[in-house]
Amino acid sequence: MGKRLDGKVCIITGAASGFGKAMVHEFIKEGAKIFAIDISKKVQDLKKEVDGELHTYSADVSNLIQVAEAFKKCNEIYGRLDILCNNAGITGLVETPLHEFNLEAWDKVFAVNVRGAFIVLQEAIKMMLKSGGGSVVNTGSIGGYRATPGSSAYIVSKGAMVMLTKQAALEYVKDGIRVNSINPGTCNTPLLDDFSQEAKDFLASQVPIGRLGEPVEVAKLALFLASDESSYISGQDHIIDGGRSTE
């Protein structure tokens, strides 16, 4: 039996930690050829962790020139793109009321979570149009549907990801490009590093399943959407939040 992503070329942004790192591990086990991008030089450490074909590249997704150079490099290596995991994101300020939210901090979140996601998606679609199609998995958040006090920039930016997914899915479905999103609830990732333990405990207490999610669980959902197993799914936002949104 063949592997689910055997030979497929996949770009993963935000690959050095959290969901992105888990995606690298899960996708490469299924035969994908990975081009991993992260602003952190730690992305290079992935080469020591996985057994498979992996190239790494350090780039800021909010920087148009750096993103264009990253995709150019991927194209030079592979000449095509089959999968994009548009995953890079930041939390920004937390536990900060909206009226006290610093505009510079707000702009920084939107630079990565909205501008960055848009730039990466544009470059990926250009390659996929030449490749004859592909699958895009955007990383959104349950925050795109449900507000969290004190995290206004992050919440609003992930709301934008919901419509970016639907817009791209509608525009490119006839070109053989599927676009979906994964929308995790609160999970054990570095995005929680700035939260107090009290805040983390509160978040965990809100989850009906009784715990926070793990990155590998989110990566497995991304794997399904990236693979041909989801060939009839496009423009959909898939919530993975331990049942929180059912309340």
- Domain-embedded: residue 44: yes
pLDDT, mean of each 10-residue run, the chain (247 residues): 92 97 98 98 96 97 98 98 97 91 97 98 98 97 91 96 98 98 90 78 87 94 98 97 84
How many domains is the chain partitioned into structurally? 1
The answer to the question of residue 246 being in a domain is no
pLDDT for 85: 99
| Total length of the chain | 247
Q: 230 lies in a domain?
A: yes
Its pTM stands at 0.94
Query: Alpha carbon 44 to chain centroid distance?
Result: 19
Task: Write down the catalytic residue from 57, 78, 145, 154.
Answer: 154
**CATH number of the domain that 187 lies in?**
3.40.50.720
Q: Tell whether 3 is covered by a domain.
A: no
Q: Find the domain containing 236 and state its range.
A: 9-240
Phi, psi values for residue 138, rounded to 5°: -85, 140
Supply the pLDDT for residue 247. Answer: 65
Residue 213, pLDDT score: 92
Could you confirm whether 154 is annotated as catalytic?
Answer: yes
Residue 227 domain flag: yes
Asked, for residue 1, whether it belongs to a domain, the answer is no
Assigned domain for 68 exists: yes
- The per-residue pLDDT for 200 is 82
Considering the domain boundaries, does residue 162 fall inside one? yes
- Give the DSSP H/E element, type plus range, for residue 182: strand 177-184
What pLDDT is stored for residue 199 in this prediction? Answer: 80
pLDDT score recorded for residue 2: 79
Among candidate residues 208, 120, 218, 210, the one with its CA nearest the CA of residue 164? 120
In the chain, the largest separation of any two C-alpha atoms, in whole Å, equals 56
- Residue 68 pLDDT: 98
